[in-house]
Structure 1
Amino acid sequence: MSSSVKFERDFSPRSRSIQTTVLLLLVSLWLTLVLNFTFWRAVWQAVGGWNNEHLLFLFSLPLFVFLWNYLLLNLLAWGRLTRPVLVVVILVSAVASFFMSRYGIVIDYSMVMNVLQTDQAEAYDLLGVDVLLWVLCLGILPAIIVSRVPLTKQRWTRAGAIKLSGMLAALAVIGVILAVAYQSYASLLRNHRDLRLMLVPSNVVGAIHGYAKRQLRTSVAFEQVGLDAVQATDVGHPGRHKVLVLVIGETARAANFSLNGYPRVTNPALPDQGVVSFTNVSSCGTATAISLPCMFLDVGRANYKTYQAHNRDGVLDVLQRAGVAVLWRDNNSGCKGACDRVPSEDVSHLSVPELCNADGCFDEVLLHGLAERIDRATADTVIVLHMEGSHGPAYYKRYPAAFRRFTPTCDTGQLDTCANDAIVNSYDNSLLYTDHVLARLVELLKGKEDRFDTAMLYVSDHGESLGEKGVYLHGLPYAMAPREQTQVPMVVWLSPKLSAQSKVSMGCLDQQRGVTLSHDNLFHSVLGLMKVRTSAYRSELDLFQPCAAARVAVAAEG
């Protein structure tokens, strides 16, 4: 054999190719050992590290996860789609692993929903050099290698036989592992259900499947609510209209409101306005995409389904049906279905020099032109103001420079580069600004008392984690979410005339400030305050009803 023929044989592309099974094994190994750092850290803590007496269990865990990833890749990657699928899996897994590592999040269908509904400004806040380097080194470079490595061509029958044999072998080994250490694995998964939401790429695949299943469900008829809604006639105040401004906060957690006992004064202005702050209020979800539509519906957190966001009447629809004028003003990323059928306007891109810049508008823009809107009211009116609030991770962008009172601050969206004190300072500054906006709103409403009976009700959509137990931001599944993400502030102010007309005194509300409330109360409380009568209304969920009932009882006794 000539040397040239030998050289051609040894160094031809075919001689340097690898079998598809080998490529799947290598990618599985990369996923297992490199892109699952957060998962392994959580597992190590869950099993007690070297204190765990079952060494066979400990040493079998990496093999179990490796074979699990191998099975998943075999199910996803077929024929000519093998390389494209592996490239996508590596890239998505790299991105997921970064955000899980940095912010302590987990991946489920609601996180997919959050990602898809994140606007450009929010996405930009999450990007930085660190995420780009992470994805470049752990995602893009391996993906390039996978896309370029030659694969051995095989007949489809042989390729199928090899794939099936590999999967059966993996299943057999997994079966042996479970047979030997079943109790340890069962205990781990039963006591730490969150681990399945940390294992990439199966968590991403499961989340996408869960989201798609909810989105592609068989269409159901639109659910109308409160078809019998009417507004009770107010004979005591002829010619006067009620105006309720319902303010929906963003990412404000109750724990950092000084109105609720937080030692740092984050609410310097609201106490002077005579408001009542309820201290035990829970949210419907841990992300805007769930909490915002849920709080406007009558179904409650226990019965809420994501498809209902755009497929069921909410409290604004019922109010409008009863003859109450409704307006939604948005300085956030939309109403997520809550305002689909009522007048709305986006104020986040107004050109108000002192309030708006390249990053958007501060929340005070929601008050821009509001007085004139109220002056034009010819019926009882509910106006919703949807704030940008304390949306992270770029808390420093949520308030003007004048409210940078707690220092030093974290002036970047890359929270891992900041000390925890700086992160909390920036977050608390955003609450200072929310306090200012709400106080200004109350002052505005007080200025309208000569013509209108006015009220303000503020509640946040969900809370926020600020590094407690290594968790940041929000969006954890409700069952495992810390109180910081589910306990939200709720603040109420009623004008003296509306208080008298509704028979709900601020003093009585203050006595009720510690009662257990939730987003479930919003639908019924708004209807009750606006005197809308409908079979959909439940008085036991109306937060104002105990005070109104007490006033009636006292009057009857007198």
Structure 2
Amino acid sequence: MVRGAVLNLFAALWLLALLNQPFWSALWESVGGWHASRAGFLITLPVFALVWVWTVLELLTWGRAAKPVLCIVMVLSAAVAFFMHRYGIAFDRGMVANVMETDPAEARELLSAGMVLWILGLGVVPALVIAMWPRAPQGVVGTLTEKVVTLAGLILVVGAILVFQSGSYISLFRAHRDLRLQFVPTNYLSAVQGYAKVKLKPKREIEQVSLGATRVASDPATQRPMVLVLVVGETMRAANLSVNGYERETTPLLAGRKSLVNFGRTGSCGTATAVSLPCMFLDVGRGGYEDGMAFRRESLLDVLQRAGMDVWWLSNNSGCKGVCDRVQVVDVPATLPAGACGPGGCQDNVLIDALKKRLESVQRDTVVVMHMKGQHGPAYYLRYPPEFERYGPSCRDNALDRCGPEQVVNAYDNAVSYSDYILDKTIDALQSQANRLDSSMVFVSDHGESLGEKGMFLHGMPYDFAPTVQKEVPFMAWLPQATRDRLQIDAGCLASRRDQLSHDNLYHSVLGLTSTRASTYRDDLDVFAPCRTGSVIAANAKGGKP
């Protein structure tokens, strides 16, 4: 029989030795490898890590619940370690949000035989050993005494280490804060606690913004409805678009559109949909955004609807994170016959059919949001039909680290080329209604993607530590001559704004493009404002009554 403290020690050793390889690699790189002059500090690092994990397990395991809790920690730790090892990710509150808000189809793409074997071998097996291992019976007094003695001893060890090496540890943690996001199990335990804290906040009424929102009257000479199609891309990084200088012709159709204005590389609000999508539709910008804010504050779509526009959300993705809760929503795949989509879900061509039907019924000024599936990984090869297999061989495995780097990029670039086609067809659909509608299209992606650079795949890294490819997205607008004339927009002026924008510009630019007066409007963030006549800008800037 073993005591609880000994069982926790064995568990801590297992976690450190077998489930923290990414952490040890990052730590060794952070300290610059072995230096004899720092031998004392380097030797204490594994001791400090062991004491830290042991302490956490002591605080989590009490009485009869100790074994079940410890078993859960072992299995969860194995699962988190698998994704960190395979995709090079770190784990924070945003990653928990990604896990909780991913739809079943997306989750299935992450499953693999390797994942099952990993979790069984490194999580389930030790959990079963813990469950079957006889534990010495202890009463309440015995349990408390053991806890106090064990924790006191662990605190003494940490204290002794910090007395002699405090400078080195303070320097390490200040310069490499990302290390804590790679340390299993405290990374995901802290992330779950942070996520639960946000979700368990008392619900409150939706905060209304721009209650007096109105719109500048339509051109009396035409009285033609205006239609804006706002296309929200998924996981498209700016670096892989040929219109942004990429060596491959991934966006030839968009490049051939003379009325297209490309704003180039644009900074995203976050590195995952759970953050970027709601953030870009709110007026607060990245600096003012908080988790879950779109569920308690009106979005851009609410303001447009209040100003008198019809607002539709056509989705081929997994929800809108609160942004579209109060407008008309069409889950496009749900409207199709059973079996109409493949194993990876519907490809984005279904959005074009839905858009055409919507345009045919437009009778007044309208905004249609199309939420794409885009390049959602890791199964990029499922995002496009076979005829778009332009670059090969492509990775056809959701375990991206099992493919060569060029195969991963090939699959991703094929998906980008398909999105180029979808956006071109969106423009065609709008042009087909040119005899009765004045239309425009704005395209922006939610976040970028890592494709194996420095061993990192997918997205969702904490913003401060994320690579540029996860934070730079495309942003462009298609404005035909009729629309430019009606709104008095100088396309040449717009081209000068290339590589200067962020998601913070989207909210205000859409208000400007739709001639919406709102108190939340800021002309300094409206990309169209400097390129329009002063009268329209002045009307918008006055806004409505709050």
Structure 2 equivalent of residue 8 of structure 1: none
The 8 Å contact of residues 270 and 276 in structure 2, kept in 1 or not, is answered as yes
1:210-268 deviation digits (Å, cap 9, x = unpaired): 11111112334421011010111123443201000000000000000100111111001
Structure 2 distance, partners of 1:299, 1:237, is 37
Name which one, 1 or 2, has greater alpha-carbon Rg: 1
Segments of 5+ residues of structure 1 without an aligned counterpart are 1-16, 554-558
Q: Does 1:164 align with 2:148?
A: yes
Structure 2 distance, partners of 1:361, 1:72, is 44
Structure 2 equivalent of residue 248 of structure 1: 232
- The aligned amino acid for 1:285 is G
Which of 31, 38, 46 is matched with 1:62 structurally? 46
Structure 2 equivalent of residue 10 of structure 1: none
Which of 7, 20, 33 is matched with 2:17 structurally? 33
Structure 2 equivalent of residue 498 of structure 1: 483
Structure 2 distance, partners of 1:72, 1:121, is 35
The CA deviation at 1:508 is: 2.4
Which of 114, 127, 138 is matched with 2:111 structurally? 127
Which of 335, 356, 366 is matched with 2:341 structurally? 356
Instruction: Say if 1:278 and 1:443 are closer, same or farther in 2 by CA, change over 3 A.
Output: same
- Secondary structure of the structure 1 residue equivalent to 2:498: coil
Instruction: Say if 1:548 and 1:352 are closer, same or farther in 2 by CA, change over 3 A.
Output: farther
The CA deviation at 1:468 is: 1.2
Structure 2 distance, partners of 1:271, 1:355, is 32
Q: Does 1:24 align with 2:12?
A: no
- Secondary structure of the structure 2 residue equivalent to 1:279: strand
Which of 117, 142, 145 is matched with 2:126 structurally? 142
Q: What number of residue pairs does the alignment pair up?
A: 536
Q: Which runs of structure 2 are paired with 1:47-446 in the superposition (5 Å)?
A: 47-51=31-35, 53-274=37-258, 275-351=260-336, 356-446=341-431
- The aligned amino acid for 1:276 is V
The CA deviation at 1:467 is: 1.1
Structure 1 equivalent of residue 542 of structure 2: none
Structure 1 distance, partners of 2:361, 2:270, is 36
The 8 Å contact of residues 355 and 365 in structure 1, kept in 2 or not, is answered as no
Q: Which runs of structure 2 are paired with 1:453-532 in the superposition (5 Å)?
A: 453-514=438-499, 516-532=500-516
Per the normalisation by structure 2, the TM-score is: 0.96
The CA deviation at 1:196 is: 0.6
- The aligned amino acid for 2:479 is L
The 8 Å contact of residues 76 and 85 in structure 1, kept in 2 or not, is answered as yes
The CA deviation at 1:444 is: 1.4
- Secondary structure of the structure 2 residue equivalent to 1:292: helix
Bigger Cα displacement from structure 2, 165-174 vs 307-316: 307-316
The CA deviation at 1:354 is: 11
- Secondary structure of the structure 2 residue equivalent to 1:455: strand
1:87-122 deviation digits (Å, cap 9, x = unpaired): 010001111111111111111111100000011111
Structure 2 distance, partners of 1:354, 1:147, is 43
Structure 2 distance, partners of 1:284, 1:21, is 44
Structure 2 distance, partners of 1:380, 1:447, is 17
- The aligned amino acid for 2:390 is R
The 8 Å contact of residues 219 and 486 in structure 2, kept in 1 or not, is answered as no
- Secondary structure of the structure 1 residue equivalent to 2:10: helix
- The aligned amino acid for 1:229 is A
Structure 1 distance, partners of 2:126, 2:414, is 42
Structure 2 distance, partners of 1:208, 1:552, is 47
Bigger Cα displacement from structure 2, 520-529 vs 231-240: 231-240
Aligned CA RMSD, in angstroms, stands at 1.6
Q: Does 1:534 align with 2:507?
A: no
Instruction: Say if 1:445 and 1:349 are closer, same or farther in 2 by CA, change over 3 A.
Output: same
Structure 2 distance, partners of 1:531, 1:237, is 17
Instruction: Say if 1:52 and 1:216 are closer, same or farther in 2 by CA, change over 3 A.
Output: farther
Structure 1 distance, partners of 2:2, 2:147, is 14
Which of 439, 445, 451 is matched with 2:436 structurally? 451
Instruction: Say if 1:201 and 1:353 are closer, same or farther in 2 by CA, change over 3 A.
Output: closer
Structure 1 distance, partners of 2:11, 2:302, is 52
1:140-183 deviation digits (Å, cap 9, x = unpaired): 10000001111010222022101110000000001000111111
The 8 Å contact of residues 295 and 519 in structure 1, kept in 2 or not, is answered as yes
Structure 2 distance, partners of 1:114, 1:314, is 21
Structure 1 equivalent of residue 28 of structure 2: 44
Structure 1 distance, partners of 2:116, 2:194, is 28
Instruction: Say if 1:416 and 1:280 are closer, same or farther in 2 by CA, change over 3 A.
Output: closer
The CA deviation at 1:369 is: 3.6
Structure 1 distance, partners of 2:241, 2:108, is 28
The CA deviation at 1:29 is: 1.0
1:363-393 deviation digits (Å, cap 9, x = unpaired): 0110114223112112100000000000000
Structure 2 equivalent of residue 11 of structure 1: none
Structure 1 distance, partners of 2:404, 2:3, is 48
Structure 2 distance, partners of 1:478, 1:165, is 40
- The aligned amino acid for 2:366 is T
- Secondary structure of the structure 2 residue equivalent to 1:91: helix
Structure 2 distance, partners of 1:379, 1:143, is 62
- Secondary structure of the structure 1 residue equivalent to 2:438: strand
Structure 1 distance, partners of 2:96, 2:219, is 51
Structure 1 equivalent of residue 532 of structure 2: 548
- The aligned amino acid for 1:62 is P
Structure 1 distance, partners of 2:283, 2:126, is 49
The CA deviation at 1:350 is: 4.5
Structure 1 distance, partners of 2:266, 2:340, is 31
Structure 2 distance, partners of 1:155, 1:305, is 45
Structure 1 distance, partners of 2:18, 2:195, is 27
1:167-214 deviation digits (Å, cap 9, x = unpaired): 000000010001111111111111100001111111111001111111
- The aligned amino acid for 2:313 is W
The CA deviation at 1:300 is: 0.4
